[in-house]
A = this chain, B = another copy of it.
Amino acid sequence: MMELTRKGEYAIRGIIFLARSPKGKIALISEIADATDVPQTFLAKIFQAFAKLGLVNSYRGTGGGFTLGRPPGMITLREVVEAVEGPIMPNRCLMGGRGCEHDRKCLVHPVWRQVQEEVVKILDGVTIEDLARQEKPPEPV
């Protein structure tokens, strides 16, 4: 349960690479894919999603590529993960739209809501800047 997919992993690796590049440098998707060991065409899709959300800027044509869309300290891990994996939702019933038939009587819902909130809180508390630092923090959390 709760496993991050490869897409999510790749997304994180890719954007961390960008954050580690010299500020303002335009990076090619081929370059990023190479450095992070991710299939290039697959990573391209991921960066398309990033671009749509403004997490990265994309430039087409000769000399084109990607840069971070915001300072890395302003991009949260949650945004990156949700960009490619969709919203963090431990149980489909939590979805706003068409509720499940068990909605009214379901005592499990509040638990999933709590899980969701906790996870969101943690992932919102970590920025790409945090992750891009070369040195590990003194004591792993």
In the complex, how many angstroms separate the beta carbon of A132 from the nearest chain B beta carbon? Answer: 8
A141 touches B3 (CB 8 A): no
Residue ranges of A at the interface with B (Cβ–Cβ < 8 Å): 1-5, 8-9, 12-13, 77, 81-82, 85-92, 102, 107-116, 118-119, 122-123, 126, 130-131, 133, 136-137, 140-141
A115 touches B111 (CB 8 A): no
Residue numbers in B under 8 Å from A8 (CB-CB) = 1
A122 touches B126 (CB 8 A): no
Q: Which of A2, A131, A137: most chain B CB closer than 10 A?
A: A2
In the complex, how many angstroms separate the beta carbon of A2 from the nearest chain B beta carbon? Answer: 5
B2 touches A88 (CB 8 A): yes
B4 touches A111 (CB 8 A): no
